[in-house]
């Protein structure tokens, strides 16, 4: 029994060891991926609930891995976060997305472009990257929106975060809070920071038709948005029933599989054309 126990520890040890090795390899590969442009962007439409037209898109990163195929963010973003690599990932995304969206603009498709920005990335370098990407691409700043999580705003007051956000807002870039209602709770930042929009987390949206409590939460977030003059986007809409309730509650913008999953840029632009302007 003793030796079996020992063997078990060895087993766990080597399992842990191989996990550490796998992570290290992935991380090395990710650095190469950033250098060699193996990342790519899919775009999910944000839709006007009254007209069904796309008014914007959210860019979502994927990794075209040379061996393992197309990897979702869950396969590399947590890892990049742990290694402090998110500023590099987000900078890549900002440059690439601005270029692609500026291209659509020349084809007559003026969709707002929402990009996810990790808490780690909210430093003065983000402002520099953004200025550079806007200049390089010619994309009008008012079409650009950064989605931040509440974590990014948690210590906003005692760090340089406020300055960074104010500089971004001064450029004309809009700021929104992602997964709203799931984070660290102080609503103070809504008053003190230049926030233009909140995104209601899909857990509330999806539960709302079935549960009075969740419906009440969605309603109160929409009320909050109206009171503070924030745009409110409902995430994760999958059914006609969810959409109907959102409309009834006065939600103007929604996003989710019901309209479209994230798709390659060319396809997202077709949505923009068919349902949007030209």
Report in angstroms how near the CB of residue 193 gets to Ca ion at its nearest.
17
122 binds, among Ca ion, ligand C2E, none (CB under 5 to 8 A by kind): none
Mask for 141-170, x = binds ligand C2E (CB under 6 A): ------------------------------
Binding residue (CB under 6 A) for ligand C2E from 93, 148, 161, 165: 93
End-to-end CA separation in angstroms for the chain: 75
Determine if 252 is a binding residue for ligand C2E (CB under 6 A): no
Distance CA 30, CA 26 (A): 6
Strand partners, 56: 46, 112
- Out of 46, 49, 116, 121, the residue judged to bind Ca ion by CB under 5 A: 116
Q: Does 60 bind ligand C2E (CB under 6 A)?
A: yes
How many CB atoms within 10 Å of residue 132? 14
Shortest Cβ 276–Ca ion spacing (Å): 20
Identify which range of 32-40, 131-139, 209-217, 229-237 contacts Ca ion by CB under 5 A.
229-237
Which one, of 118, 130, 117, 114, lies nearest residue 167 by Cα?
Answer: 130
For the residues of 70-109, what is the DSSP string, one character each? EE-GGGTHHHHHHTT-HHHHHHHHHHHHHHHHHHHHHTT-
Q: Which is nearer to ligand C2E, 44 or 167 (CB)?
A: 44
The H or E element that residue 8 is part of is helix 2-35
Contact between 90 and ligand C2E (CB under 6 A)? yes
Smallest Cα–Cα separation from 133: which of 87, 163, 97, 164?
A: 97
Does residue 178 interact with Ca ion by CB under 5 A?
yes
Q: Residue 183 binds which entry of ligand C2E, Ca ion, none, with Cβ cut-offs from 5 to 8 Å by kind?
A: none
Instruction: Confirm if 76 and 30 have CB atoms less than 8 A apart.
Output: yes
Residues that bind ligand C2E (CB under 6 A): 44, 60-61, 72-74, 77, 86, 89-90, 93, 116-118, 178-179, 202, 236-238, 256-257, 262
């Amino acid at each position: 029994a003793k030796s079996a126990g020992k063997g078990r520890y060895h087993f766990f040890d080597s399992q842990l060891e191989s996990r550490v090795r796998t992570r290290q390899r992935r991380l090395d590969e990710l650095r190469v991926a950033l250098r060699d442009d193996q990342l790519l962007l899919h775009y999910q439409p944000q839709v006007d609930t009254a007209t069904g037209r796309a008014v914007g898109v959210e860019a979502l990163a994927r990794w075209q891995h040379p061996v393992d195929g197309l990897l979702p963010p869950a396969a590399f973003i947590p890892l990049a976060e742990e290694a402090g690599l998110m500023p590099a990932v987000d900078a890549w995304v900002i440059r690439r997305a601005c270029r692609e969206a500026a291209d659509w603009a020349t084809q007559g498709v003026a969709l707002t472009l929402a990009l996810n920005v990790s808490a780690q990335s909210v430093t003065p370098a983000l402002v520099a990257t953004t200025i550079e990407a806007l200049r390089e691409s010619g994309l009008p700043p008012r079409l650009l929106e950064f989605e931040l999580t509440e974590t990014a705003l948690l210590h906003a007051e005692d760090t340089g975060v406020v300055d960074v956000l104010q500089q971004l807002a001064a450029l004309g870039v809009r700021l929104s809070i992602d997964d709203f209602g799931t984070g660290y709770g102080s609503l103070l930042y809504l008053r003190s920071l230049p926030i233009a929009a909140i995104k209601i987390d899909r857990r509330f949206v999806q539960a709302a038709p079935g549960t009075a409590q969740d419906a009440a939460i969605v309603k109160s977030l929409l009320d909050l948005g109206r009171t503070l003059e924030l745009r409110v986007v409902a995430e994760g809409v999958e059914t006609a029933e969810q959409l109907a309730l959102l409309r009834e509650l006065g939600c103007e913008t929604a996003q989710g599989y019901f309209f479209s999953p994230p798709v390659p840029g060319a396809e997202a632009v077709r949505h923009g054309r068919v349902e949007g302007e030209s």
